[in-house]
Structure 1
Amino acid sequence: MPKQNKNDSLKKYSVGDLIRKSYSEKNPKIYCDEMAKRNLSDKDKMKYYRICGEIYYLEILNNFDKSVQFIKVSNFYAQKERDFTMYANNLNMIALIYALQNKNDLALSCLKKKRMYESRDKSNIQELIFGGDEGLVYGVIGDFDKKIIGYIKAIKDLDDYLANQKKIAPEIILEINRAKREKYNSIVDAYLLQKKLDSAALYLKKIKSLPLSLNDLDSEGIRDSEIHYDILSGNLDGAIEKANKDLNEFRDDKITVFYDSYYLAQAYILKKKYKISLAYCEQALKSKQISFGFINHELELYKIAMQATDKMEDEKAYLKYSRFYEKANQKFDYNSKADFIAKLYNLDQIQPLKYELNNSKHFMTYLWLIILFLLLFTTYLINRFFTLRKYKKRFIEINARLEKKEKEVAIAPKKAEEVIKTDKNILSLKKENEILDKLNKFEKKQQFLSSTLSLSSLASSMNVNYNYLTLTIKKYKKNNFNGYINQLRIDYIILKLKQNPEYLNYKISYLAEECGFSSHTVFTRIFIEKTGIPPSKFIEYVKKENTKVNI
């Protein structure tokens, strides 16, 4: 008997079955492909294109443009069917995709359009259950207050429905309480991202008080929030215990593996156990998922891996993860959130905010704090103004020095005879000229870019005496060996930045490696020492200079 073709076996399913399987099975594409072969009604096409956009192109392929394209086609059919609930829901999903890409203006524009199609019917239980979904978008953007307010209102609407309906089916009550659980958890997430731990704890208690079974209360989102809470409150051992238990119980669930491994990597990096943290980073990245929240967990994992490998002094691995981070960041444009996330996990700064109890107290204390803040901020602005003016002056001086240096290079390098006024030198003029010639060749070949370069290795490669080389560098380069090499490296990278625009988009760590420094930190310190200006600010000035030239 011939083996049955897998595609033939799908023919037994109705369109409704295929739609359900697309949401529940791991590979929705085979069900979408089968639907595409069917003669679908406009209503089914609306659902088909939504599934393709949301489940396949967004969640699996992370192709934002294709995802938006398919969801817009779904909305074409939603309008034909006059299904404005689906139309509004699709607009919310498009807004979420824009927010993930930091296209906040487009996201907010979609939300504004969505409100025009929302129903105001508070008796429609399905709309109430999905109420507050704009909070997802506000959460990604970082407007946590709007996210919280939206979900609190949505919960109140559900409570009002429960209070006003005389008879409600038990399955509807269960669905409402599950919806409240998810909305409470979204509020917890918003408070955790603001380090308002008291408020987060309050809403975690509200979740536990819901009339739900233990299985319903033990959802993946709640477990993640509890682990996140433990990390921020400094209970790292508690977070590790919960994450490991969760990981062992749901090891076959790719999403659970991703998030639990992320939290374990985060907890262990804070415990300074770098090797273990890196192992969990790698485990999470094998199961990586798109993150529908303010934190992009994939990028955070790359950052944790970079920190761990840096502490382990594994330069090769560090560079690998920094390249992964840079590539992924081009898709998500995550830099604007990086500082916020870094502060979020700085345990020294975590202070639970008991704002519910203190709102009406200590008015004068707050007033004086505000006045002090304004004074400090004004001082900061004044200091910033003079610092930037100093940086700008140094930038102009660097340009002038480089132009002068380029002119001098065009002229034959000075020989020792032209510099020496007397023959009372330790070295003969002939020997000095010989060493100077070798140093000129060394500079032209850019051999100073080697990170393993040392005075002894340079003397050996030139076949000159170690002490003679030291004296010649000090006399004619007006520097010691390290100062001389560092100046050559800084001049090299400055010319690269000015002559090759692509260098302006590279990470500081890559620039450091490019010109021979062992680390981002050493490079930054030497760059400031030699130029008087941080490398990031120098890059900013070069970009502005290039813009003026292009105009």
Structure 2
Amino acid sequence: MRYYLLLFFAITFVSSSFSQTEEELSQLSFDAIRDSIHKYEFSNMPKAIKASEAYILKGKREDDKTEEWLGMESVVLIYVNFRMYKEANEQSEKTLAFARENNLPKKEMRALTLLGDLQKIATTVDKQLYYYNELLKLAKAQNDEQYREIALNKIAGVQDLSGNTEKAITIRKKSLKYYQNKPLDSNFTQIKKNSAIVSLYGSLAFSHIKLEQIDSAKLYNEYVKQFQEKELDSCFLGFSYSIDAEIAYKEKKFETARKAYRKAYTICPSEYDLIQLNKAYAFGKIEVGAKNYHEAIRILQQGLDDYQVTAAEEGFMRDYYEKLAEAYKHTGDFERASYYFEKYLTTQAEFNKLKESAKESFIKKERAAFKEDFDALVTEKEKSQSKLNYLLLGGSIIILILLFLLLKFYRNKKANEAKFEALLAKIKAAEKPEDIIDTKDEELEEKNNTDIPEETKQQILNGLKKLEEKEYFLNQDCNSYNVAKKINTNTSYLSKVINSHFGKNFNTYINDLRINYTIVRLKDDVIFRSYSIQSIAEEVGYKSADSFTKYFKKDTGLNPSFYIKEIRNIA
């Protein structure tokens, strides 16, 4: 499932007020209108569309065809976000026509890419390949290497989808060589180069996993891991863990697979509903493989309930339904097993239509094999009632355990919500950020400061105040030695003054400043909230996400991800 369902669209959150009409909004700057679009593009479709129409109106009034096209494209992306694929496809065709009519080749290539992505779910694979081939032809005509490689890799993805994985591997290897040899420039930076190479290595690893060529997959994953210490987008750091998880799953090392997927989703967390559905599938299939069928049902069923699959997406759910059918079958719930197996067969047929290689005889064979297995299990149930009763008892115990864990989860959730409300109250009551969290250490490094002249104490406090105003505490090199040097004192005096004046040690003093800064900025800055935890950590002076998370939870009682999620809900 993970290979077929995801459509890749940029996700950005920014804030903006929204109370104007389209005409009033169109009087604002393009940046301001774009802020309004981004604010509502995932939460309120009418408002997001309204802002997009204002953007288009402004582009028309200023006779700026490029900006007008961008407004049209934003409508497409909004429809995609709300899973209205038919409407997205129709609007995307308009963006293509507009780009062609107004001689905007870059935008035409972008429109062809978007249209190709949409066809997989909106129409047919044939139509998808048509648009990708049109993109390839135009990229070659424009001598645009970037879009040429995009087109080739999109076509490779369709080859993978259609079962011609060897062809996909050939295309990706050529693209890999291209990016490895491509020189850096102002547009193609080192981080973009590294990310492109890692993405291709990862795709090659997954293709080899699909072909059951595990040794080759491991080799490409080793190449991915070589980039972990280089400049790289944070989410690419989790790529190798996802590959490790899939390899471990294939090798039936289910605990290893669980741990690897946990690391992958920790490094690059996302609340995007499609990512959450894929996450449920990843962990659910592991539990099926490990024969933890009740746990598998819990995970997979929760994923389905949260996502609510649309009719257009049913064709991509075959693997998901197959795992649910298998899990229910092994728990003895034959009615649910039969229901999901029929859904699996239906989506299998739909998926085969996408590949135009469906064979009804194969489906009938699978149905007959399942029915035979189903009848055998029913017979066994009738002959071994006592054994089944024992299994049902065990199942009841497992359900009770799951209910207990669920209750515990909700209690923790309620406790965290209470902590969040208390933190919000502190923020509102605080006259300045440093009043929010003010930790006091029971054991201080330097209690006695009587040997420090009063004038020196004041000089140190004034120096600290200036460094706070300059936000020096956000630097990773902010340590007692560097701070003492900047305010012309020594570390012993610095430690004593901080201990006596603030009632805390130097490290606690710096951590409080950083956490208070983070709390306020996450509350006020929507863009900052869209950063990964690693990026936030580095932004406020920590070298690792683990250190940042530890101090944030120590001071607030909450994980940063929970705080961010709750802030989004009230923003």
Provide TM-score, normalisation by structure 2.
0.50
- Give the drift of 1:240: 1.1
Alignment match of 1:198 (pick from 197, 203, 215) = 215
Deviations 1:63-98 (A, max 9, x none): 3x3332221111011112322233234334433444
Distance 2:35 2:203 in 1: 25
State the partner residue of 1:176: 193
State the partner residue of 1:77: 98
Deviations 1:263-316 (A, max 9, x none): 11111111111111111112322444989xx99763322211111111111133
Alignment match of 2:285 (pick from 256, 266, 269) = 266
Contact 1:255 1:289 in 2 (8 A): no
Alignment match of 2:73 (pick from 29, 41, 50) = 50
Structure 1 unaligned runs (5+)? 341-387, 389-503, 524-551
Change (3 A) 1:80 1:338: closer
Choose between structure 1 and 2 for higher RCO, CA contacts under 8 A separated by at least 6 residues: 2
Deviations 1:138-192 (A, max 9, x none): 2322322332222222232223321xx6xx3497221222122222222222222
After TM superposition, list the pairs within 5 Å mapping 1:33-48 onto structure 2. 33-38=50-55, 39=57, 40-41=59-60, 42-48=65-71
Contact 2:287 2:293 in 1 (8 A): yes
State the partner residue of 1:26: 42
Structure 2 unaligned runs (5+)? 1-15, 379-571
Distance 2:201 2:37 in 1: 28
- Give the drift of 1:234: 2.5
Contact 2:136 2:151 in 1 (8 A): no
Change (3 A) 1:223 1:73: farther
- The reply on whether 1:300 has 2:319 as its aligned counterpart is yes
After TM superposition, list the pairs within 5 Å mapping 1:46-445 onto structure 2. 46-53=69-76, 55-58=77-80, 60-61=82-83, 63=85, 65-100=86-121, 103-119=124-140, 132-162=153-183, 168-169=185-186, 172-210=189-227, 212-213=230-231, 216=234, 218-219=236-237, 221-247=239-265, 250=269, 252=271, 254-288=273-307, 298-322=317-341, 324-325=343-344, 332-333=351-352
Contact 1:48 1:74 in 2 (8 A): no
2:230 partner amino acid: L
- Aligned residues: percent identity? 11
Change (3 A) 1:334 1:128: closer
- Give the drift of 1:215: 6.1
Deviates more, 1:135-144 or 1:14-23: 14-23
- Give the drift of 1:202: 1.8
Distance 1:303 1:52 in 2: 35
Distance 1:317 1:77 in 2: 49
Contact 1:129 1:158 in 2 (8 A): no
Distance 1:337 1:278 in 2: 32
Distance 2:112 2:133 in 1: 9
What CA RMSD, in Å, does the superposition of the two structures yield over aligned residues?
Answer: 4.6
Distance 2:308 2:166 in 1: 26
Change (3 A) 1:80 1:336: closer
Deviations 1:22-78 (A, max 9, x none): 57953373323311134134323433343433x344453253x33322211110111
1:50 partner amino acid: E
Change (3 A) 1:121 1:79: closer
Distance 2:354 2:135 in 1: 29
Contact 2:315 2:350 in 1 (8 A): no
Distance 1:17 1:263 in 2: 39
Distance 1:234 1:174 in 2: 35
2:260 partner amino acid: K
Distance 2:309 2:198 in 1: 22
1:118 partner amino acid: A
How many pairs are equivalent? 347
Change (3 A) 1:190 1:271: same
Deviations 1:482-517 (A, max 9, x none): xxxxxxxxxxxxxxxxxxxxxx99x958x97xxxx9
Change (3 A) 1:315 1:104: same
- Give the drift of 1:239: 0.5
Deviates more, 1:32-41 or 1:75-84: 32-41
Contact 2:179 2:193 in 1 (8 A): yes
1:118 match: secondary structure: helix
Contact 1:255 1:287 in 2 (8 A): no
Contact 2:202 2:239 in 1 (8 A): yes
Change (3 A) 1:49 1:135: farther
Distance 1:206 1:20 in 2: 39
Distance 2:375 2:36 in 1: 49
2:317 match: secondary structure: helix
1:192 match: secondary structure: helix
Contact 1:185 1:207 in 2 (8 A): yes
Change (3 A) 1:57 1:256: closer
Decide which structure has the larger Cα Rg and report it: 1
Distance 1:160 1:121 in 2: 21
Distance 1:234 1:338 in 2: 30
Distance 2:51 2:108 in 1: 24
Distance 1:202 1:21 in 2: 46
1:142 match: secondary structure: coil
Distance 2:329 2:18 in 1: 49
